[in-house]
Structure 1
Amino acid sequence: MGNSHQHAHAHVASASRTRLWVAFAIIATFLVVQLIGALLSGSLALLADAGHMASDLIGLVVALVAAMVAARPATDRQTYGYRRAEVLGALVNGVVLLVVSVSVAVSAIGGLLTGAGAGGEAHEVQGGPMFVIAVLGLAANVAAWLVLRGGAKDSINVRAAYLEVLGDLIGSVLVIAAAVVILATGFDAADPIASLLIAALIVPRAVMLLRDVVRVLFESAPPDTDVAEIRHHLLGAPGVVAVHDVHVWQITSGSPVFSAHVEVEPEVFASGRAGDLLDELGGCLSDHFDVAHSTFQLEPAGRAEHEGQRHP
């Protein structure tokens, strides 16, 4: 059971790295085109979108490095391996997202106040080139988004890159809308307004990502894990009379770990059923709660009264 879970995790990790490499190639190829387009058109929104795409590229590099480090095997010192590197990579990406959103907002507000374009000088935004580059950017973002979407649920590292690309995809849509407004009405303020909307869309995604990172780093129980329900399942096993010192945490997303002290009836030890009970409890966690790594300390009934401070 444990080996099959390890093989499944290795397969997911390999697939995640492949997705990240493909998305990296797509974003890197288009970033240069978008930067040139922003300078030629004088569009703040297009430059903001290029800045966000640059953050995507940085995020993908961070995610790739984290994924390669996380693939290293466990050692006597790093007993859980290096999978927590994925969480640290997601932390870096979350911070990058927030920094980008603030810089985009500041640039957009300055553009509204002064009427300056992407080059810093006050001039009209060229809606035509802005529209063409934004449409191409949208196509690149959609391609990268589709590549990363399949791995976003399995890895917090991939989810960080996925959220960055998703924000950039929405940003491309807003840039296109701003270009259409400028072409149709000549209302150049649509450009910095679109930039502000892009920044506003980045922030909540960054906050959500950082919230998930904090949960893992603080070793909180996974959001979809009901500790009370797990305790109830364990108490239903024959011979179990009490469960305490229950801990559930995650090494990284999708890798929950469980430990508990389990008090059992004297007959469990006398009849030699301890090994069978451990197999049953581990199977319960694996089958019902998708927890492959579980540790149980079997104790005689009443043992908890002789222990010091203990958790529920």
Structure 2
Amino acid sequence: MGAHDHGHGHDHGGHGGHAGHAHGVSADADRRWLAIALGLIGSFMAVEVVVGILARSLALISDAAHMLTDAVSIVLALVAMRLAARPARGGFTYGLKRAEILSAQANGLTLLLLAVWLAYEAVRRLIEPPEVAGGPVLVTALAGIVVNVAAAWCISRANRSSLAVEGAYQHILNDLFAFIGTAVSGLIVLTTGFVQADAIATLVVVALMVKAGYGLVRDSGRIFLEAAPAHVDPDAVGDRLVALDPVTEVHDLHIWTITSGEAALSAHVLVEPGGDCHAVRRDLERLLATEYGIGHTTLQVDHAQEALLSVGRPGETGGRDDGHCASPHGPVHREGPHHH
């Protein structure tokens, strides 16, 4: 007896305006745009390291180091795209979709570690400034601005709802600001001979790197810690679900993110004794997909009375647990004025 039901609503199209990006042509196009940006950045970076060493400019070398992380971030995004596209098999029941989040985390960490090293070098140079050749610095930085604008444009054409692609984009955008700072410092060194401008420009780059790195580590960390998507409040979702007739209680509500733009939800839902469990499940799935963009749901729907009857002292039900959780995780949402 009792309608015990697991409903799986799978929405492979994706949400948040990138439905078409999920597979096929658009994924290839994304890869192509990222590869073009990678070519631009890789070739310019080599030039920049050489000029930076010859001109003794830390700002240029720091930009080149930043560009190296740009290149790595694009390579990681490309690898992650390839891995995430693989079908789920064996022990990896979600496939390798989290590869992209690993890539974002790696990007964030490299930015933060580089920032520490560059900050140390810049402070050292403020105290004992070496001679810096302003001319080559200015010319190289202006060329860097052009290269970064082109690379940023390429990446903006790819699907930025992916955290890996967004990570690469953030890297390049920060690099662009860094080059503007370096160009200004080159101009100052050239016109006034104030060589400390080079180290000051480096510290501006460091601040930008810390900001971008922290953002990426925080966002990917949320996903690894199975937090609900930032725009979804699980309490509000629980209250919304329990408001639907004939639902009487929602507990064990879990909302997490598989990979960027792909949220999943599971919950145990109790329905009035006369209610239609299957219809309730369908209604809840529709509500979650339309109002919250959650397309992957697993809902266990039971009649309230049966579930309550089966809860007694351990052993009373012959060791059977008829679906009701012995210790629900998180708040219990009930119908009526007192939701929790």
- TM-score normalised by length of structure 1: 0.90
How much does 1:14 deviate?
4.6
Pair 1:161 & 2:175 matched: no
1:263 is aligned to 270
How much does 1:22 deviate?
2.4
1:112 is aligned to 126
Unaligned runs of 5+ in 2: 1-8, 312-324, 332-340
Aligned partner (choices 209, 230, 245) of residue 216 of structure 2 = 209
How much does 1:137 deviate?
0.3
1:293 is aligned to 296
Q: Deviations over 1:246-289 (max 9, x none)?
A: 00000111110001111012222xxxx43332221111111110
How much does 1:149 deviate?
3.3
How much does 1:41 deviate?
2.3
- Contact 1:66–1:85 (CA under 8 A) maintained in structure 2: yes
Q: Deviations over 1:43-73 (max 9, x none)?
A: 1111111111112112221222122111111
- Contact 2:263–2:295 (CA under 8 A) maintained in structure 1: yes
User: Which structure would you say has the larger RCO, counting Cα contacts within 8 Å and 6 or more residues apart?
Assistant: 2
Aligned partner (choices 129, 138, 151) of residue 144 of structure 1 = 151
Question: Which deviates more, 22-31 or 298-307?
Answer: 298-307
Q: Distance in 2 between matches of 1:197 and 1:247?
A: 41
1:229 is aligned to 236
Q: CA RMSD in A?
A: 2.0
Structure 1 or 2: larger helix share?
1
- Contact 1:16–1:155 (CA under 8 A) maintained in structure 2: no
- Provide the aligned length of Structure 1 versus Structure 2: 301
Pair 1:93 & 2:111 matched: no
Corresponding letter in the other structure for 1:10:
H
Relative to structure 1, the CA distance from residue 13 to residue 236 in structure 2 (aligned partners, 3 Å threshold; closer, same or farther) is farther
- TM-score normalised by length of structure 2: 0.83
Question: Which deviates more, 226-235 or 156-165?
Answer: 226-235
How much does 1:228 deviate?
2.4
- Contact 2:145–2:179 (CA under 8 A) maintained in structure 1: yes
Q: Secondary structure at the match of 2:13?
A: helix
- Contact 1:55–1:96 (CA under 8 A) maintained in structure 2: yes
Unaligned runs of 5+ in 1: 117-123
Aligned partner (choices 247, 250, 264) of residue 257 of structure 2 = 250
Relative to structure 1, the CA distance from residue 177 to residue 304 in structure 2 (aligned partners, 3 Å threshold; closer, same or farther) is farther
Q: Distance in 2 between matches of 1:256 and 1:14?
A: 24
Identity among equivalent positions (%) equals: 36
Question: Which deviates more, 226-235 or 292-301?
Answer: 226-235
- Contact 1:45–1:192 (CA under 8 A) maintained in structure 2: yes
